[in-house]
Amino acid sequence: MLGNGYARRRSLCGSALSWLLCLATAAPITLVPTRSSAADATNGERAVARRLVGEGDALFAGRNYAQALERYAEAYRVMHVPTVGVEVVKAQRALGKLVEATQTAREVAALPEQSGEPAVFNQARLQAAHDVVTLSEMTPALLVEVTPRGAPFAVWIDGVSPAGEAPFLLNPGAHQLRVSADGYQSVEQAVTLREGERQTLTVQLPPDPAQAPPVLPASGASATGAEPKPPTPAAAPPASGAHASRGRTLGWVGLGVAGVGVAVGTFAGINALQTKPDCPNDVCSPSQRNDIRNSKTMGTIADISFGVAIVAGALGIWQLATSSGDDSKSAALPPTGPLAGGSERPRAFQVTAVELAPGPFELRLSGCF
């Protein structure tokens, strides 16, 4: 027997034969095709279970795990009790069948408690619950990612469609993976998993020349929704329309710059007046020199900003006026908004807020540029 849990069970009931006798004294079961509890077993059935477990122990000690599993599984079918179930888990684990061992351990841990059962039954349930945790950590997992994204695909592992959702829990060792999807050629790939490994496998499906791939839903669209209609290509504008569009864009930019210049000039002018010191008879003290310098600086900024605003505004108005007649059929571009194909229209400068921040020279502008 392996593990401290199994040794504890043997210490309670002695040798393998006496342990099975102790197990069987709880209550008998009936040998029927469907498994039942240890409630109504006959002496003959208990003798069969004892013989099968004994043979399984001998085979397991000789490292013949496959035949040992056969004996333990048959004994578990005859006497569906926790102490025999953990023997099945032990053999499955030795064979590397971690997925099956985890399922059996869960079943054993959930076996209902019977009235008057021996203490080793509950110890076996606890051992099975511990095995579930240990085996879950040991069981490899495989996540399959398929490109192109959104293509509904099917996966077969070792010729069987895996149950449950990804990532797929598999036994350690080599596996053969096959992925297929409508409109694409199937891909077969070998993968080897180590104990406890979490692996992500990316599979590229090539298009099938004999079959057109299905139209994939757009990103973010519902998988059950209607297929999106392809966008209608926009007709190419004439050369004169493109020239007019560029002229209008420059016009909007000029007006935007003019607006920014007015905003900056206004702010700088107000700041210049606020920071100008009050010097009696135009005689200022040395302590007021910094305020005088700040006031002059802000005044210079105001003059420059208003000058830029005048020039940019005039150029913007001129561009808009001269480009309006180039293409009477092309509408003026709005400051914002998408073009066909998802590209953005040129944005004109537009100031929506001017904020005076703490400090003598901080100006914050917000809007579209």
Sorted by where each starts, the structural domains of the chain and their CATH numbers stand as 3-137 (1.25.40), 141-204 (2.60.40.1120), 239-368 (no CATH)
Angle at 172 between CA 167 and CA 178, to 5 degrees: 55
Measure the CA–CA gap between 109 and 190, rounded to whole angstroms: 35
Question: Tens of pLDDT along 72-126?
Answer: 999 999 989 999 999 999 999 999 999 999 999 999 999 999 888 889 999 999 9
Measure the CA–CA gap between 326 and 330, rounded to whole angstroms: 9
Mean of the per-residue pLDDT values of the chain: 75
In DSSP terms, 365 is beta-bridged to: 354
Please name the residue that has the structure tokens 């080793």.
120
Please name the residue that has the structure tokens 């299905």.
214
Number of Cβ atoms within 10 Å of the Cβ of 272? 19
Backbone torsions φ then ψ of 161, nearest 5 degrees = -75, 120
Measure the CA–CA gap between 276 and 288, rounded to whole angstroms: 9
User: Using the 8-state DSSP alphabet, how is residue 340 labeled?
Assistant: T
> Widest CA span of the chain, in angstroms?
126
Instruction: Check: CB of residue 130 under 8 Å from CB of residue 5.
Output: yes
Assign 255 to helix, strand or coil: helix
Q: Flag residues of the chain having pLDDT under 70.
A: 1-41, 212-244, 280-283, 324-369
Read off the tokens for 114.
């019977």
Instruction: Check: CB of residue 350 under 8 Å from CB of residue 240.
Output: no
Measure the CA–CA gap between 232 and 229, rounded to whole angstroms: 9
Question: Tens of pLDDT along 143-186?
Answer: 998 988 887 889 999 999 987 778 999 999 999 999 999 889 89
Residue (of 208, 207, 206, 177) closest to 193 by Cα position: 177
* Residue 32: per-residue pLDDT: 35
